[in-house]
């Protein structure tokens, strides 16, 4: 995706009446059809007259971005020097993930929200080859639907018009391991892993527990929020769950 596709802010005749009122933009000859963008109203606080661009299919955009990351991740893993690895990953950033500061100053236009684990190896912007302002990211150990996460996602959907929430579990999740264990935890950690324990099945493998937890968190979001439930019911919001394999860099939908 060319860098100018990441500018997001286009001069328009006016702001749309609703955050999710999308209108297709004319495609450019040098842009692949699968990356067709749509114009959406600018969020409150943006400069008057500005319009924001989002992918026509946010889920496909995440899949495509992850495919780019997987390719670069594998190539970097094969590289023989730190300099070569840095170069490969730097190219991914410069070709697909750069948004100029003057654009960001004008406002944000996230087209997907990701509820992810706080694990230091799990960075959604990298994993989905996304630019600043593309993703509205909420993170906590175990990617659970805790109260603050639900409130943050309500803001993203209600105020920013985000049409997709992706819950992402990952391989080797320490929070899920803690939930499966009988070892004593601090009161805060006990509270943190309680929703994870609700999703567990006795005797299942760790990866199965991680995936079950991601599905459970996705199911809990509309149950915990009337706003998310209503947006989902009227077709303005999709909620999906997924699993990220750290070794390969690949995200699989559940």
pLDDT in tens, 151-196: 999 999 999 999 999 999 999 999 999 999 999 999 999 999 999 9
Whether 126 shows a pLDDT value over 80: the answer reads: yes
What is the pLDDT averaged over residues 24-46?
A: 40
Q: How many other CB atoms sit within 10 Å of the CB of residue 44? A: 10
Instruction: Provide DSSP, 63-125.
Output: HHHHHHHHHHHHHHHH-SSHHHHHHHHHHHHHHHS---HHHHHH-----EEEEE---TT--HH
Provide φ and ψ at 97, rounded to 5°. -125, 20
Q: Which of 36-40, 173-177, 214-218 has the lowest mean pLDDT?
A: 36-40
pLDDT bracket for residue 228 (50, 70, 90):
very high
pLDDT score at 98: 67
pLDDT in tens, 72-118: 888 877 877 887 777 777 777 766 666 777 777 878 889 999 999 99
pLDDT score at 73: 83
Mean pLDDT of the chain: 80
pLDDT bracket for residue 57 (50, 70, 90):
very high
For residue 210, give both structure tokens. Answer: 């991680």
What is the pLDDT averaged over residues 225-250?
A: 96
What is the pLDDT averaged over residues 50-71?
A: 84
Whether 24 shows a pLDDT value over 90: the answer reads: no
């Amino acid at each position: 995706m060319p860098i100018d596709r990441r500018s997001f802010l286009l001069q328009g005749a006016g702001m749309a009446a609703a955050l999710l009122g999308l209108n297709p933009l004319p495609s450019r000859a040098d842009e692949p059809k699968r990356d067709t963008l749509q114009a959406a109203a600018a969020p409150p606080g943006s400069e008057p007259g500005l319009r924001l661009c989002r992918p026509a299919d946010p889920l496909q955009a995440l899949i495509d971005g992850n495919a780019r990351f997987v390719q670069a991740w594998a190539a970097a893993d094969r590289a023989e020097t730190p300099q070569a690895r840095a170069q490969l990953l730097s190219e991914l950033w410069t070709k697909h993930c750069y948004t100029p500061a003057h654009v960001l100053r004008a406002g944000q236009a996230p087209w997907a929200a990701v509820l992810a684990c706080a694990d230091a190896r799990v960075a959604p912007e990298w994993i989905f080859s996304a630019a600043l302002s593309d993703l509205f990211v909420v993170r906590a150990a175990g990617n659970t639907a805790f109260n603050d996460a639900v409130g943050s996602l309500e803001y993203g959907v209600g105020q920013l018009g985000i049409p997709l929430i992706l819950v992402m579990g990952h391989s080797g999740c320490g929070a899920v391991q803690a939930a499966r264990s009988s070892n004593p935890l601090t009161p805060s950690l006990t509270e943190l892993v309680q929703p994870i324990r609700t999703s567990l099945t006795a005797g299942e493998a760790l990866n199965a527990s991680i995936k079950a937890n991601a599905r459970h968190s996705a199911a809990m979001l509309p149950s915990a929020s009337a706003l998310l439930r209503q947006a989902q019911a009227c077709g303005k919001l999709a909620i999906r769950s997924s699993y990220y394999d750290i070794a390969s860099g690949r995200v699989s939908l559940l």
